[in-house]
Amino acid sequence: MKIILLYGGQSAEHDISVISAHNIAQQIMYNYYDVQPIFIRRDGVWIKGAPLTEAPSTSGELILEAAEIAQWSQKADTASTGIVIQPGSIYEEDTIVFPALHGPNGEDGTIQGFLEVLNMPYVGAGVTASAAGMDKTISKYIFSQVGIPQVPFEAFDRQAWLNSKDELINKCEGSLLYPMFVKPANMGSSVGISKVENVEELANAVELALKYDFRIVVEQGINADEVEVAILGNADAHVSVVGKLVKEQSFYDYDNKYLNNSVSMQIPAELPEAVAEKIQEYALLAYRAIDGRGLSRCDFFVTANNDIYINEINTMPGFTPYSMYPVLWQGTGLGTRDLVEELIQLGLRHFEAKK
Ligand code: ADP
Ligand code: MG
Ligand code: MG
């Protein structure tokens, strides 16, 4: 059987995707599978690389330089040793696609819809869950519908902002306390997100977030720990232990997430058992509510009083050797090699089941 490993992509999480895909490529069982890496350049061009019949060798350290990434992928952003292909030409029988892509155009249902149209099996969430999970406004409406607590928020779009800035600012200040978090609805890796302390910052942050999406969420900031749960499975999904981010900064932004290495993980999180169980229960509830499949990582805030608020669900969470998703499964007794194999089997099983 062949696995097409799709990685890179046009989102702000391009580099993370490359490292995730490298980690996945290292864990695939090559006695069962060949791997066809397909690199999506930042400009959207698809490049078919040399097939892998064994694990790529570089160390998998946090390599963010295009030249170093090219060591395993053999494809830098501009020059390439691979072949430029049309996306539709990837169709093949007995092939499953592993879209190791994060963020818009990868984790948001677009690639998933494209693979549905090609009638190819793929790893992970389908169209609905991907689109709903990526959209912070839609996911908030879904979470509230199924009764998962979340911080107070306001949601609006660009047109509303252009029509009545003052009214929207009044509305935010009427229902939310500073600090607030301003977020584009469709993004990831903290891109376009600001923490704001006053009305000037609020207005500037909305303008910034509107550069990334037409729709915006403004949330009440909360002083809390951030904890995360990994989910694995289709209809029979199960959850990992809860892990906590141990942070030096209060805002887990892109640089702190990926570049400064200023975050470590406490697995399992030191929490009363009932609190951890409640978090796991909410994670599964969120997963089912968005029609989750394959995998997701569900993120929460937990206050000093042990109040729990859902933050978001990520349907293709980071999969680098240091990412919470595979590390949570290691902490639950499932190694990354078995995890990758299970994800492939879940994708194949779903494809068979829907025939
Ligand atoms: P992304 O999808 O980009 O990861 P998040 O909604 O998870 O976006 O926000 C990124 C980070 O910003 C969170 O991990 C957290 O550190 C901080 N943050 C976001 N919303 C809030 C909030 N309401 N209160 C406190 N911190 C927040
Ligand atoms: Mg996210
Ligand atoms: Mg997040």
Residuewise pLDDT in 10s, the chain (355 residues): 999 999 999 888 888 888 899 899 999 999 999 999 998 988 898 988 888 898 886 654 444 444 555 555 554 444 456 788 999 999 999 999 999 999 888 899 999 999 999 999 999 999 999 999 999 999 999 999 999 999 999 999 999 999 999 999 999 999 999 999 999 998 766 779 999 999 999 999 999 999 989 999 999 999 999 999 999 999 999 999 999 999 766 566 666 555 555 578 999 999 999 999 999 999 999 999 999 999 999 999 999 999 999 999 999 999 988 899 999 999 999 999 999 999 999 999 999 998 8
Q: Closest by alpha carbon to 252, among 312, 331, 201, 212?
A: 312
User: Among all chains, which residue has been given the structure tokens 């600090």?
Assistant: 179
- Looking at the CA of residue 314, tell me the nearest atom of ligand 1: 2
Neighbours of 64 (CB within 10 A): 14
Q: Which residues hold their Cβ within 5 A of ligand 2, which is an ion? A: 188, 312, 314
Question: How many H helices and E strands in the chain?
Answer: 12, 14
Amino acid at 66: A
Q: What burial class does residue 89 get, using C-beta atoms within 10 Å of its C-beta: 0-12 exposed, 13-18 middle, 19+ buried?
A: exposed
> Cα(134) to centroid of ligand 2, in Å?
7
Q: Under the phi-then-psi rule, with left for phi > 0, alpha for psi from -120 to 50, and beta for the rest, what region is 116? A: alpha
Among all ligands shown, which has an atom nearest to the Cα of 317? 2
Instruction: Starting at the earlier edge strand, list the strands of the sheet with 215-220.
Output: 153-157, 215-220, 180-184, 194-196
Q: Cβ-count burial of 53 within 10 angstroms (0-12 exposed, 13-18 middle, 19+ buried)? A: exposed
> Residues with beta carbon inside 6 Å of ligand 1?
151, 181, 183, 187-190, 193, 219, 221-222, 226, 251-252, 299, 311-312
Which of the 8 DSSP states describes residue 258? I
User: What phi and psi, each to the nearest 5 degrees, are found at residue 175?
Assistant: -110, -15
What is the spatial distance between Cα 23 and Cα 42, in angstroms, rounded to a whole number? 20
Give yes or no for a contact between 221 and 251, defined as CB atoms under 8 angstroms apart: no
If one counts every other C-beta atom within 10 angstroms of the C-beta of residue 181, the result is: 22
Burial 286-320 (b: 16+ CB within 10 A, else e): bbebbbbbbbbbbbbbbeeeeebbbbbbbbbbbbb
Ligand 2 centroid to 38 CA: how many Å?
Answer: 24
Mutate to test the pocket of ligand 1, among 190, 248, 250 (most ligand atoms within 8 A of CB): 190
- Residue 221 alpha carbon, nearest atom of ligand 1: 24
> What's residue 186's pLDDT?
87
Query: Which residue is closest in CA terms to ligand 1's atom 17?
Result: 251
Q: Can you give the pTM of this predicted structure?
A: 0.93
What distance in angstroms lies between residue 88's CA and the mean position of ligand 1's atoms? 36
Which atom number of ligand 1 is nearest to the Cα of residue 222? 24
Closest ligand 1 atom to Cα of 190? 3
Task: Return the residue matching tokens 């977030």.
Answer: 209
Residue of 139, 140, 143, 181 to test ligand 1 pocket, by largest number of atoms within 8 Å of CB: 181
Predicted local confidence at residue 83, as pLDDT: 85
CB neighbour class for 252 (10 Å; exposed up to 12, middle 13-18, buried from 19): middle
**What is the maximum alpha-carbon separation in the chain?**
62
Q: Which ligand 1 atom is at minimum distance from the Cα of 309?
A: 23
257: DSSP letter:
I
Burial of 326 (0-12, 13-18, 19+ CB in 10 A): buried
Element (H, E) at 160: helix 158-163
Q: Which uninterrupted H or E stretch holds 202?
A: helix 199-209
Residues with Cβ within 8 Å of residue 262, at least 6 apart in sequence: 247, 248, 249, 256
Q: How many CB atoms lie within 10 A of CB 244?
A: 20
Residue in the structure block whose two tokens are 């704001």: 196
State the Cα–Cα distance between residues 314 and 286, nearest whole angstrom: 11
Nearest CA to ligand 1 atom 8: 190
User: What's the gap in Å between 252 CA and the centre of ligand 2?
Assistant: 11
Q: Write the residue with the smallest CA distance to atom 22 of ligand 1.
A: 221
CA 189 / ligand 3 centre spacing (Å): 6
